[in-house]
Amino acid sequence: MRYGFAIDTKRCIGCHTCSTACRIENNLPNGVWWNRALTEGGPEMDTPAGEFPDVTMTYLTVACQHCDNPACVKVCPVGATYKDPETGVVRQDYDKCIGCRMCMAACPYTGVRSFNWEEPQHTIDFAVGDADAAPHQKHVVEKCTMCWHRLAKGEEPMCVKTCLARARFWGDLDDPESEVATLVRERSYKQLLADEGTKPSVYYLV
């Protein structure tokens, strides 16, 4: 079994709902984004490339790529970041992390991993999201868990559930009958930094 995502960049409208839903579901501290809608376009977020009227703008929603050959897992000195053998999900054990940030240096996907540089702060003074989401800790590295707490209940990740444009698909890439496997088989796709050899489990349908 290898859980992964297929993200249809032709359907994605860049609404940032998946990013925001992720923040709420996992009660992410201020300033922390596990999933970000990056703009393929101009120099700033939500700006187009080119000159009017020949402009283009597409989005890549980027979170942990849950690589099949993860660079982060190899370098963690204590095994706090590890690949779940059953599902292929790359996980992070907050209680074990010593905060050396070796994984952040190793991960080629800039900005995917996030360190809690301070005691986690929240704008609202009560926790939001799922009660089963792991609580945040100061001075440890965290990242997308693929909503592990939801997977445990047989539910899909929150970013997939909330996608307004129905651009996000999730499932078992090893199961040829699954929606994701079918999409990856039938559509053309690209993967982020494929040359790095990390074999990401996220496929961007183009």
Binding site for another protein (CB under 8 A): 16, 19, 30-33, 36-40, 42-45, 47, 60, 62, 71, 74-79, 96-102, 104-111, 113-119, 138-140, 192-193, 196-197
Work out how close the CB of 2 gets to another protein at its nearest, in angstroms, rounded to a whole number.
21
**Between 132 and 190, whose beta carbon lies closer to another protein?**
190
**Between 137 and 182, whose beta carbon lies closer to another protein?**
137
Phi-psi region of 144 (alpha: psi -120 to 50; beta: other; left: phi over 0): beta
**Between 118 and 155, whose beta carbon lies closer to another protein?**
118
- The letter for the amino acid at 205 is L
Q: Residue 172's beta-bridge partner residues? A: 3
CA 47 to chain centroid, in Å, comes to 22
**Between 50 and 111, whose beta carbon lies closer to another protein?**
111
Work out how close the CB of 197 gets to another protein at its nearest, in angstroms, rounded to a whole number.
7
Work out how close the CB of 179 gets to another protein at its nearest, in angstroms, rounded to a whole number.
27
Is residue 50 within 8 Å of residue 43, measured between CB atoms? no
Q: What are phi and psi of 60, to 5 degrees?
A: -120, 120
**Between 83 and 178, whose beta carbon lies closer to another protein?**
83
Task: Report how far residue 43's alpha carbon sits from residue 7's, in angstroms, rounded to the nearest whole number.
Answer: 23
Work out how close the CB of 34 gets to another protein at its nearest, in angstroms, rounded to a whole number.
11
Is residue 35 within 8 Å of residue 167, measured between CB atoms? no
DSSP 3-state of 195: helix
Work out how close the CB of 47 gets to another protein at its nearest, in angstroms, rounded to a whole number.
7
Work out how close the CB of 109 gets to another protein at its nearest, in angstroms, rounded to a whole number.
6
Q: Is the dihedral of CA 98, 104, 105, 108 positive or negative?
A: positive
Look up residue 23 and give its two tokens: 């923040």
**Between 1 and 98, whose beta carbon lies closer to another protein?**
98
Task: Report how far residue 179's alpha carbon sits from residue 109's, in angstroms, rounded to the nearest whole number.
Answer: 26
Q: Which of 74, 67, 69, 44 is nearest to 57 (CA)?
A: 44
